[in-house]
Amino acid sequence: MSLLEIKNLTLDFTVTGARLRAVDDLSLSIEAGETLCLVGESGCGKSTAALAIAKLVPAPPARYSGGQILVNGRDVLQMANGDLRRLRGRMVSYVFQEPGASLNPVVRVGKQIKEALKLHRPEAATEDEVARLLKLVGIPAPEARARDYPHQLSGGMQQRVMLAMALAPQPQLLVADEPTTALDVTIQAQILELLRELKQRLGMSILLITHNLGVVGEIADRVAVMYAGQIVEVAPARELLQRPLHPYTKALMGSVPALGSEAPRLSTIPGNVPRLGNCPFGCRFQPRCSVARPDCATLVPSLAELEPGRLVRCPFGVGVSPAPFSATSASIPAETARIDPGAAPSNEPA
Amino acid sequence: MSLLDVQNLKVYFPVSRGPLRRAREHLKAVDEVSLSIEPGETLGLVGESGCGKTTLGRAILRLVQPTAGRILFEGEDLSRINGAALRARRRKLQIIFQDPYSSLNPRMRVGHIIGEALDIHRLAPDRAARQKRIRELLAAVGLEAAHADRYPHEFSGGQRQRIGIARALAVEPKLIVCDEPVSALDVSVQAQVVNLLRDLRQQRGIAYLFIAHDLAVVEHISHRVAVMYLGRIVELAGAKTLVREPMHPYTQALISAVPVIDPDAKRRRIVLPGDVPSPVHPPPGCPFHPRCPLAEDRCRTEAPAWRQVRPGHWAACHLAEIANRKS
């Protein structure tokens, strides 16, 4: 049994009468001890999907319209509030992008970590345990730092404190949502190194969300690429980076500037991620795709296992033998497909 | 003559301490920095947060007051002029900011944001000419004429950065300081903006001071790159040379920290311990020595001189030759 198994999750937001599908028929699993990277541009639904794992997307305005989220075999969407409270923290713990915005500015960091301990492991809510956690995440002089306020710490140190707090309940799954995006590259390297080391030492699983495929090469076992609310490719990290099959994955990789490359121009993806409720029919990536064919605008591609362990939502993917479209899985509800682009505000939580 | 020649520039900020706020210390944000930019050249400036790269960029535009040193722009010292004379020179120097969300007035239409620059410098004789110029500028950055009537919130991050670029271009500057122009953007959009800046340089012969913390982006767009640490420039060389043969251990660490997509790439990983020290009390000797993997006794006491190690390749490190061999 997988630690986490998401089956056909669909999540809608209702905004000014329109139903906007943020996550569309998403299936994903994470094994114990595995690091999965969820990759995609801003607004593709990756953060929403990650928050949904612990049912943290508030409903309303959201609606969990379908699917299951199984953590150790139990469906999160069916859990009572008490079970959800036990799930959050002890099973699934979160670290977010901006450590400065996630920490309480007027409470000493040691006390904030102790709060997490009191909630989830009351027997361990001691100064010693706080110091041990701070030391675990590589903070020098942990006893002294525990008495600091967040503003006295640098961005990298604040992110380490957030990590200590997330690890306090000893979770089985750590969800890290762009944990290094706000940090310098040198500090990013430190935090990625730390995550790798912690995973080995503590044997937990990590779901890491990022828009930078460079980060994927550093840390991931497996990768899922998301576009406009759907998963478009899943593969072992190494294979995906060596031979991406979906044109979107390929385009994302091309836009990361490589150090020492001779290319005069960076390859880009024209246009932007479509707004929610304004996804093009057929393949959602087709208007920006460099290898699109006329069929792509009329038929809906399905996520198919082209090789063992490799799922791709594109029948013409790079170097892929043609697989049929599935005309039946037209998953955009008719009423949202017709919404005026100007009238649909993007309600993707940042 | 260089377009811009910065000589021994210092920007110190006073810091008050103690119960009566008597003890005054100085935060040396920029300390003895010298650099030059030729017309049409892009000089990259990299360094971690807090190293003073933004302050240096702003001091060149006189958006912060330099403490000492000279800023020669087309041979004229900008640090000594004020008022109308400074305003007239500023037409030749523009800036693009990091955050495209906070650097555009949310209550002004895009046409007005771009047109305001034309009004201030009286570059459009009448309404029709003004409208025409705004349309031209929007087209130059890849936006449509109809976008002039919209408000900033209607645009994505990448499009907003294009508006910021159009605003900078309005006055036909010779030098644009790009302060982390792509750091807040997704990688795919980042590539679009970098390519746009490159095209504009080719079409219009604009020089850039391109400030960023991502060495891969900086190398891609720059002719030469300067590396800054704790208010000082520690290495300066041609972009390709700097990446292939870095002389300063700090540059080497920065290079090794850039995430690499290729899972088979073999490389030496140098994870720097700790953070950048406080610029109020920089370490004695070489300011990088507490984090430097090569540091020896001399580095702890004696500040390294800024020297030309090879033609066109400058570094401030006692051990530049040794570090270079190890890289």
Q: Tell me the pLDDT tens digit for each residue of A288-304.
A: 888 888 888 888 888 88
pLDDT of residue A336 exceeding 60, the answer is: no
pLDDT of residue B23: 65
DSSP B209-229: EEEES-HHHHHHH-SEEEEEE
Give contacts of B194 with chain A, Cβ < 8 Å: 257, 266
Q: Which residues of A touch B248 (CB under 8 A)?
A: none
Is residue B115's pLDDT more than 70? yes
Q: Please, are residues A199 and A33 in contact by the beta-carbon 8 Å criterion?
A: yes
Q: Assess A298–B contact: CB distance below 8 Å, yes or no.
A: no
Does the pLDDT of residue B24 top 90, yes or no?
no
CB contact B297 to A (< 8 Å): no
Chain A residues whose beta carbon lies within 8 Å of the beta carbon of residue B259: 185, 188-189, 192, 212, 214-215, 217-218
Q: pLDDT grade, residue A280 (50/70/90)?
A: confident
Q: How many CB atoms lie within 10 A of CB B26?
A: 15
Question: Phi, psi (5° rounding) for residue B313?
Answer: -120, 105
- Cβ distance of A258 and B260 shorter than 8 Å: yes
Instruction: Specify the pLDDT at position A108.
Output: 94
Instruction: Tell me the longest C-alpha to C-alpha distance in chain A.
Output: 64
In the three-class reduction of DSSP (H, G, I as helix; E, B as strand; rest coil), residue A307 is classed as strand
Q: Report which residue type is found at A291.
A: V
A168-182, A288-302, A326-340, B281-295 — which is least confidently predicted?
A326-340
How does the average pLDDT of chain A come out, rounded? 83
- Mean pLDDT across A264-281: 80
Go through B112-141 and write b for each residue having 16 or more CB atoms within 10 A of its CB, e for each that does not. ebbbebbeeeebbeeeeebeebbbebbebb
Contacts of residue A276 in chain B, CB cutoff 8 Å? Answer: none
Q: At A322, list the tokens.
A: 């043609």
CB-based contact (8 Å) between B213 and chain A? yes
3-state secondary structure B265-295: CCCCCCCCCCCCCCCCCCCCCCCCHHHCCCC
Element of type H or E holding B37: strand B23-37
> Is the pLDDT score of A305 beyond 60?
yes
Give the residue-averaged pLDDT of B267-290: 82
pLDDT band at B327 (very low <50, low <70, confident <90, very high): low
Whether B233 shows a pLDDT value over 80: the answer reads: yes
Q: Per-residue pLDDT averaged across A190-207, rounded?
A: 89
Give me the phi and psi of B57, to 5 degrees please.
-60, -40
Over residues A249-274, mean pLDDT: 82
The secondary structure of residue B52, as a DSSP letter, is S
Determine phi and psi for B229, rounding to 5 degrees. -145, 125
Q: Which residues of A touch B157 (CB under 8 A)?
A: 42
Structure tokens at B263: 């899972």
Q: Phi, psi at residue A315, to the nearest 5°?
A: -75, -15
Report pLDDT for A335.
37
What is the model's pLDDT at position A276?
77
Residue B259: predicted pLDDT: 80
At A141-153, the pLDDT tens digits run 888 899 999 998 8
Q: Which residue of A has its CA nearest to B158?
A: A272
Q: How far apart are CA B220 and CA B111, in angstroms?
A: 31
Q: Once rounded to an integer, what is the mean pLDDT over residues B69-98?
A: 91
Q: Which residues of chain B from 183 to 202 reach within 8 Å of chain A, CB to CB?
A: 186-192, 194-195, 198
What is the C-alpha R_g of chain A? 21
- Digit-coded pLDDT (tens) for B174-214: 999 999 898 878 888 888 899 999 999 999 999 999 999 88
Residue A342, pLDDT above cutoff 50:
no
CA distances from B318 to B193, B230, B305, B309, B323 (A): 38, 17, 8, 10, 9
| Across B30-45, average pLDDT | 94
Q: What was the pLDDT predicted at A128?
A: 92
Q: How far apart are CA B34 and CA A114, in angstroms?
A: 49
Q: Which domains does chain A have, with CATH numbers?
A: 1-91+171-256+274-350 (3.40.50.300), 102-169 (no CATH)
> B179 and B211 in contact (C-beta within 8 Å)?
yes
Task: Tell me if A137 sits within 8 A of A168, measured CB to CB.
Answer: no
Could you give the CA distance from residue B44 to residue B209 in angstroms, rounded to a whole number?
A: 6
Q: Is residue A261 very low, low, confident or very high in pLDDT (cuts 50, 70, 90)? A: confident
- Residue A231 pLDDT: 93
Inform me whether the pLDDT recorded for A344 exceeds 80: no
A346 to chain B, any CB pair closer than 8 A? The answer is: no
Q: At residue B238, what is the residue type? A: G
| Token code pair at residue B33 | 């920095």
- pLDDT one-digit tens code per residue, A19-78: 888 888 899 999 999 999 999 888 888 889 999 999 888 888 888 988 999 999 899 888
Average pLDDT over residues B100-123: 90
Nearest to B30 by CA among B208, B164, B211, B249: B211
**pLDDT single digits (tens) A64-112:** 988 999 999 899 888 888 888 889 988 999 998 888 888 999 999 999 9
Euclidean distance between CA atoms A230 and A27, whole angstroms: 9
A341 touches chain B (CB under 8 A): no
Helix (H) or strand (E) holding B294: none
What's the pLDDT score for residue B325?
A: 77
Let me know: does B210 contact B239? Beta carbons within 8 Å.
no
Average pLDDT score over residue span A206-215? 89
For residue B214, the distance in angstroms to the closest alpha carbon of chain A comes to 7
CA distance A239 to chain B (A): 9
- Identify the pLDDT of residue B268: 66
Please state the φ and ψ torsions of residue A5, each to the nearest 5 degrees.
-135, 115
pTM of the model: 0.82
- Cα B237 to Cα B313: distance, rounded to the nearest angstrom: 4
Which of B158, B243, B259 is opposite residue A217, by nearest beta carbon? B259
- With CA atoms as reference, the chain B residue closest to A190 would be B271
Q: What is the CA radius of gyration of chain B?
A: 21
What pLDDT score was predicted for residue A341? Answer: 37
How far apart (Å, rounded) are the C-alpha atoms in residues B64 and B66? 6
CA A138 – CA A160 distance, rounded (Å) = 7
pLDDT at B73 over 90: yes
Mean pLDDT across B26-32: 90
Tell me how far apart the alpha carbons of residues B219 and B210 are, in angstroms, rounded to a whole number: 10
pLDDT at A333 over 80: no
Closest chain A CA to residue B180 = A184
Name the residue of chain A whose CA is nearest to B254's CA.
A186
Which of B99, B188, B196, B228 is the best residue to mutate to test the A interface, defined by the most A CB atoms within 10 Å of its own CB? Answer: B188
Q: Are A145 and B264 in contact (CB under 8 A)?
A: no
Confidence of residue A256 (pLDDT cuts 50, 70, 90): confident
By the 8 A CB rule, do A267 and B188 touch?
A: no
What percentage of chain B exceeds 90 in pLDDT?
60
Q: Select B4-92+173-326's CATH number: 2.40.50.100, 3.30.1330.10, 3.40.50.2300, 3.40.50.300.
A: 3.40.50.300
Contact B258, A184 (CB under 8 A): no
Q: Where does residue A328 rank: exposed (0-12), middle (13-18), buried (19+ CB within 10 A)? A: exposed
C-beta atoms of A259 and B216 within 8 A:
yes
How much is the mean pLDDT over chain B? Answer: 89
| Mean pLDDT confidence for B138-154 | 91
Strands B4-17 and B175-179: unpaired
Question: H/E element holding B195?
Answer: helix B187-204
- Residue range A211-224: mean pLDDT, rounded: 88
Model confidence at B267, pLDDT cuts 50, 70, 90, reads: low
Least CB-CB distance to B48: which of A184, A251, A267?
A184
